[in-house]
Amino acid sequence: MASNNHIDLCNVRLPLLDERELYRLSIRDGNWTHIRKQEADAADPEVIDLEAWKSEQRGPTDGIPTLDLQGKILLPGYVDAHMHLDKSFSLTTVENISGTLEEAILNYSAAAPTFSKEEIKARMMRSALQALSFGTTHIRTHLDFNLKYSRDIALRTIEAALEAREALAPYITLQLFPMCPFNFMSLDNEAIEEALRMGVDGIGGAPHLSQTPEEDIDFIFKMAEKYDVPIDLHCDETDNPQMRTVAYVAKRTQEEGYQGRVAVDHLCALASMTDEDAGGIIDQMAEAKLKAVSLPAVNLYLQGRHDTFPVRRGVTRLKQIHERGIPIAVASDNIHDPFHPFGRGDLLQIALIGSYAAHMGRPADLRTLLRMITEAPANVLGLTSYGLTEGNAANFVILDGRSTEEIFTLLPERRWVYCQGRFVRSPGSKAEWNNTTLAQFWQGATQAVSFQKHEFAKG
């Protein structure tokens, strides 16, 4: 297959720069080398309509092609700052009848010993590829680390994840964050060090679920410093306005000089607090240079389950956190598992749900939401060489729409995904890969992971 790591693009619309203008872009060796506004009368001698582009029809001696986007939207590859790839597509075997976070955790934990490494890897491959097909080029995934049964069961997930990360590395970048289980201080916590030695990218957890949250947070900081890795915590994923582990995380971040290396996710409790209390916490987050991630779809689904009307909806204060200057991303969280029966790994869909949940629908809000699935999560992941700047890696998605309002309205299925020097997907069904290896991965993963519901045991 001919490489397309040298390519020019014209008539490109870039909502993250200036949507009123059209741009001309050049890619050489997979990097942006030219990003400029197009002259009004610029005419290319030979342009190829993007719709007709077939890289395999180019010979090695053909010149560098110019693809005409005809005003379509181009965004840097989406960055999903918070997924649970290992749990995805487990709803066939793990149910959640009450729809609460508590039952999801309980049932998934009970089922954990029955999952083989191959099954976990297939689920990760399937959901990561599905996300790639919609335009995601980088993912941070949290990983179940179930020490309740044995070290082997906990490490099985890590092994599966390391294999998936390696297989997918030429196409999509995965960051792996094992979650220290809550109340783990009495468990085999040396296993966490083993996971860190195996080469995961950081350390996670959900200290608000612990009976000893401060001790858990202290331990997580100790491990992070010992292995020199970032921290990413589920924080206060509850309607309880008194839950404020984020304040302790902010304090410890400053004490340890870990500013810029700690992400706090969910922050649902902030949505239940008074404005005054929430404002104070958001100030502490800003002072500690915490980064934030909101998971609007899953919060809408799981939170408020213990309320009678009026029912709280759990989504944190997106606008307020953003306006305070804290980088905040919106991300997918769970896909088709007991925590969330839906989701497809499409961050544009998540941005739309964020728009509903946070009342962000003005033109400026929609452009902010686009940053919340691109630049803000790239900041959370600590990516260098990301985004629309000359010299950076040219990973991007083109959407079949000509304004931000249009893509939020239509969530176009027709997308072109370019990563690491080539187009990997062109329009059609989401499984329509331009790459043989990806097509094989997709086939294997979709055969192994189905929507066919297993029979649940009665009783």
| Residue whose pair of structure tokens reads 């939401």 in the numeric block | 369
Q: Which is nearer to Zn ion, 8 or 333 (CB)?
A: 333
Least distance (Å) between residue 2 CB and Zn ion? 40
* Closest of 88, 87, 86, 43 to residue 66, by C-alpha: 43
Q: Which is nearer to Zn ion, 239 or 333 (CB)?
A: 333
Q: Which is nearer to Zn ion, 68 or 333 (CB)?
A: 333
Estimate to the nearest angstrom the gap between the alpha carbon of 243 and the chain centroid. Answer: 25
What sign does the dihedral 435-421-332-427 (CA atoms) show? negative
Read off the tokens for 389: 């700047």
Judged by CB under 5 A, the number of residues near Zn ion is 1
Least distance (Å) between residue 54 CB and Zn ion? 40
Least distance (Å) between residue 333 CB and Zn ion? 5
Q: What whole-number distance in Å separates Cα of residue 76 and Cα of residue 136?
A: 9
Q: What whole-number distance in Å separates Cα of residue 442 and Cα of residue 436?
A: 10
By three-state DSSP, how is residue 280 classified?
helix
Hey, which residues between 324 and 343 contact Zn ion (CB under 5 A)?
333
Q: Which is nearer to Zn ion, 85 or 438 (CB)?
A: 85
Q: What whole-number distance in Å separates Cα of residue 459 and Cα of residue 456?
A: 9
Q: Which is nearer to Zn ion, 9 or 180 (CB)?
A: 180
* Closest of 58, 157, 45, 172 to residue 111, by C-alpha: 157
Hey, which residues between 274 and 333 contact Zn ion (CB under 5 A)?
333
Least distance (Å) between residue 127 CB and Zn ion? 13
Q: Which is nearer to Zn ion, 354 or 401 (CB)?
A: 354
Q: What whole-number distance in Å separates Cα of residue 299 and Cα of residue 313?
A: 7
* Closest of 293, 235, 233, 278 to residue 258, by C-alpha: 233
Beta strands 7-12; 231-235: pairing state: unpaired
Q: Which residue spans within 91-144 are E strands per DSSP?
A: 136-143
Least distance (Å) between residue 49 CB and Zn ion? 42
Beta strands 291-294; 262-266: pairing state: parallel
- Residue 388 gets which letter from DSSP? S
Least distance (Å) between residue 178 CB and Zn ion? 13
| Residue whose CB is nearest to Zn ion in the complex, by number | 333
Least distance (Å) between residue 364 CB and Zn ion? 29
With contact defined as beta carbons under 8 Å apart, do 138 and 378 qualify? yes
Estimate to the nearest angstrom the gap between the alpha carbon of 153 and the chain centroid. Answer: 25
Q: What whole-number distance in Å separates Cα of residue 402 and Cα of residue 425?
A: 20
- Residue 52 gets which letter from DSSP? G
Read off the tokens for 35: 């990003």
Least distance (Å) between residue 341 CB and Zn ion? 15
Least distance (Å) between residue 334 CB and Zn ion? 7
| Contact residues: Zn ion, CB under 5 A | 333
